Structure 1
Amino acid sequence: MTYNILGKEVGDIGFGLLGLTARAIPDDQAFAAIRAALDAGCNYFNGGEFYGPPDKNSPALLRRYLERHPEDASRIVVNIKGALGRDYQPRGDKQGVRESIDACLQTIGPNATIHQFEAARKDPKADYVEETLATIDEYVRAGKIGGISCSEINANTLREAAAKFAVTAVEVELSLFYNEPMSNGLLEACAELNIPVLAYSPLGRGLLGGKIRSPEDIPKNDMRLMHPRFQGGNLLKNLELVAKVDDVAQRKGCTPSQVAINWLLALSRKSGMPKIIPIPGSTNPDRIRENATIVHLTDEDMSEIEEILASFTTAGTRYPAQAMDLLNL
């Protein structure tokens, strides 16, 4: 199946670019991952200005890829988030947004299009609708970018934004480990307004990727260890959900990641739900193809998963304390 974003068809599953630039990997490896995603139908790319240094971030990677493979430019739909300072604090003021978009446009170059731009976080010091989104809209009306997307906002903010501007997507964490958008009104608002959801971290930051079954499976220098979910007793508790998803996957004859991703697709097909597009990422072409595989989850499968979630509470917050203050605003 496909879905229409700003007149462009995108697959049911997108592709997150963070892993291709978060650490230095050869271009040939990154390009192979991009090509694998495209060939698997995952042509909706989600990147960030702050995904790596300015000369090696998502826009820079896409520029280099399309300089080598210009024939793929028409296949790719690009959502870029920015408006974060070097201290990772939001810059939703007019100057901050302009500097971010200008930098992304200059970096990505003439061969690529930024179809959507979003402020990565709502800036508490700026008027989100009248300043942050209004500035992005200036670039939309000038034809420099395609549309406005939003990130980590709540239902009330979304309704305020959509009342004035054409919001083309909302990016939010959504997975078996974090499903609060199902109950806090955000998915309901997206469905009501016909705005698709970009579900980031659909594998719980790799917990559901099939490789983590004990604390020893996480490298000692892994950045995820800064996140409360991955620390001490929290991780041990969260591995209980991993084991239960493993059981479902074994019965279905698929992988845990396929259960997690296809749960989101099945959720999207339910009455009252918006279009949900999971955006897993990987540097491994085989893993990309695995994540792109459609697995039919029956009503019985979904009921079993619902029972698992009803009996399980994720241990630990999504981010360290200082970052939690910028979520769901």
Structure 2
Amino acid sequence: MRRRRLGMGSLSVSEQGLGCMGMSFAYGPVNDSESVRTVHRALELGVTLFDTADMYGPHHNESLVGRALSGRRDQAVLSTKVGNEIDRDGALTGRINGRPDYIRSSIDGSLQRLGVDWIDLYTLHRVDPQVPIEESFGALAELVQAGKVRHLGLSEASAATIRRAHAVHPVTAVQTEYSLFSRDVETNGVLATTRELNIGFVAYSPLGRGFLSGRIRDIDDLPEKDFRRVAPRFQETNFHRNLKVVERIERVADTKGVTASQLSLAWVLAQGPDVVAIPGTKRRTYLEENVAVSAMALTPDELAALDVIAPPGVATGDRYPAAAMAYLDG
């Protein structure tokens, strides 16, 4: 597994991390035992970056990841997030909270659940439109000074917000959805800004929430309580239009002798040495399929073919339901 550096500092991570959200949240039934085995297998295969958030569960995912990495802290780079408000009863409120007092009150819970003394990368999960980013990031910077956090990140922030935050404290990484189905960062200035400021880029959902795997042929292939059942790209007419794009990607993958998942993930990794992908899975079989991509290389002709098949804006339907879309590009 090759390594890539995030930002201008010393944070070096595997070019593929492991997105752990689905082990607790959003994608149907979970199995803690298999999830722990998946984390252990990831370590064996050279994965070092493990991405979670306090809202996944809520709280369950941080505890699960902490348990899986117990005794292996020196092998892992831990990334967690704050900002999706959780009330005192441990329930999501549906609000974004970037107030300094909320950030300060959240860190100790994350440290306790993860079972660590510090977090390698602490990310503001969404930008609170009611709070100046200078105030939110100032509170995060205090956590670095206190030794509770090593590096800071932003998720789904606009280019202007990234610049403002970076002026308060260096941003090590910006985390945003990026895949053949979601290329917004190429056109809205986000990727150009991170590169100008030497900020690393962490691509989440590099497989389009599983759509680009080719394994989902119908909405009924998804579990009953799966988040994707309400995601616009998986709805009726949108689904069938997007499936046609996937089928074209599959034909390129067949020619290369790989899966559509592998081809799509290889495309993300080919976008630059500053890009780290965090495909999410809760199963060892899919993890191993993903990790194999790091031994692959795409030819210029293959990259050109994928650009024709899946240019920016190719996917039909928004990434999230309307309420969640309001907090993107904050």
- Indicate how the Cα distance of structure 1 residues 109 and 222 shifts in structure 2: closer, same or farther if over 3 A, else same: closer
Q: TM-score, normalised by structure 1?
A: 0.92
- Indicate how the Cα distance of structure 1 residues 197 and 300 shifts in structure 2: closer, same or farther if over 3 A, else same: same
The one-letter code sitting in structure 2 at the alignment partner of 1:187 is L
The one-letter code sitting in structure 2 at the alignment partner of 1:289 is E
What residue number does 1:83 align with?
83
Cα distance in structure 2, aligned partners of 1:304 and 1:149: 33
Cα distance in structure 2, aligned partners of 1:10 and 1:83: 24
1:158 pairs with one of 159, 162, 169: 162
C-alpha displacement at 1:127, in angstroms? 1.1
Partner SS for 1:267: coil
2:137 pairs with one of 133, 139, 155: 133
Partner SS for 1:13: coil
Partner SS for 1:53: coil
Cα distance in structure 2, aligned partners of 1:78 and 1:220: 31
What residue number does 2:148 align with?
144
What residue number does 1:51 align with?
56
What residue number does 1:281 align with?
280
Q: TM-score, normalised by structure 2?
A: 0.91
Cα distance in structure 2, aligned partners of 1:66 and 1:287: 20
Q: What are the equivalent positions in structure 2 for 1:57-72 lying under 5 Å apart?
A: 57-58=61-62, 60-67=63-70, 70=71, 72=72
What residue number does 2:260 align with?
256
Cα distance in structure 1, aligned partners of 2:30 and 2:306: 36
- For residues 289-321 of structure 1, the C-alpha deviation after alignment (integer angstroms, 9 at most, x for no partner) is 111122210000001011112397211111111
Partner SS for 2:47: coil
1:9 aligns with 2:15: no
C-alpha displacement at 1:195, in angstroms? 0.8
The one-letter code sitting in structure 2 at the alignment partner of 1:115 is D
Percent of aligned pairs sharing the same letter: 34
1:105 aligns with 2:111: yes
- Indicate how the Cα distance of structure 1 residues 310 and 281 shifts in structure 2: closer, same or farther if over 3 A, else same: closer
Instruction: Count matched residues.
Output: 317
Cα distance in structure 2, aligned partners of 1:305 and 1:297: 10
Partner SS for 1:283: coil
* Structure 1 portions without partners, runs of 5+: 270-274
Alpha-carbon RMSD across the aligned residues, in angstroms, is 1.7
- Indicate how the Cα distance of structure 1 residues 311 and 319 shifts in structure 2: closer, same or farther if over 3 A, else same: closer
What residue number does 1:207 align with?
211
- For residues 207-259 of structure 1, the C-alpha deviation after alignment (integer angstroms, 9 at most, x for no partner) is 01231123343344422111111111011111011101111110111111111
C-alpha displacement at 1:193, in angstroms? 1.0
The answer to which structure, 1 or 2, has the higher relative contact order (CA under 8 A, 6+ apart) is 2
* Structure 2 portions without partners, runs of 5+: 86-91
What residue number does 2:102 align with?
96
Structure 1 range deviating more: 78-87 or 164-173: 78-87
Cα distance in structure 2, aligned partners of 1:77 and 1:95: 26
Q: What are the equivalent positions in structure 2 for 1:12-31 lying under 5 Å apart?
A: 12-22=15-25, 25-31=30-36
1:114 pairs with one of 119, 135, 152: 119
- For residues 29-67 of structure 1, the C-alpha deviation after alignment (integer angstroms, 9 at most, x for no partner) is 11111012122222111111011133x222x11322233
The one-letter code sitting in structure 1 at the alignment partner of 2:222 is I
CA contact (8 A) 1:47 1:81 kept: yes
Partner SS for 2:84: coil
What residue number does 1:272 align with?
none
